[in-house]
Amino acid sequence: MYSLLLAIHITALSLSLVATVSMTIMALLSHASPIIARRTNLFITSFGIVLGGLLLIQVPLGVRCVELTAYLIIFTLAYRFVSERSAKLALEKSPA
């Protein structure tokens, strides 16, 4: 069971990392990312974080807790930046 949770956790956070970096680059290049992509990424990241928490309950490791917390903080900041930037770009492109 532990191995399955670990594999799903690693997959979810890997997908999250790729999606977050991609959407951040899109935002920096002034391209709005679709809201469905942002929400899907938020769900996948949340799922991966919850699984990480469950894994830490089973085998608590100090360094792993710090890594998971750091990833959560970085993801939150990047997600906020992408959401705000995408909303701003959508407003600029909409006819007034």
Digit-coded pLDDT (tens) for 8-45: 988 998 999 899 889 888 888 888 888 898 899 889 98
Note the pLDDT of residue 40.
93
Residue 36, in any domain of the structure: yes
Residue 95: predicted pLDDT: 64
How many domains in the chain? 1
The pLDDT value given to residue 43: 94
* Residue at 95 is within a domain: no
Q: Does 96 fall in a domain?
A: no
Q: CB neighbours of 62 closer than 8 A, spacing ≥ 6?
A: none
DSSP assignment of 10-73, as one string? HHHHHHHHHHHHHHHHHHHTT-PPPHHHHHHHHHHHHHHHHHHHHHHHHS--HHHHHHHHHHHH
- In this prediction, residue 89 carries a pLDDT of 79
Residue 94 inside a domain? The answer is no
In a domain, 38, yes or no: yes
Using one digit for the tens of pLDDT, what is the confidence trace for 51-63? 888 887 777 666 7
Q: Which domain holds residue 54?
A: 2-89
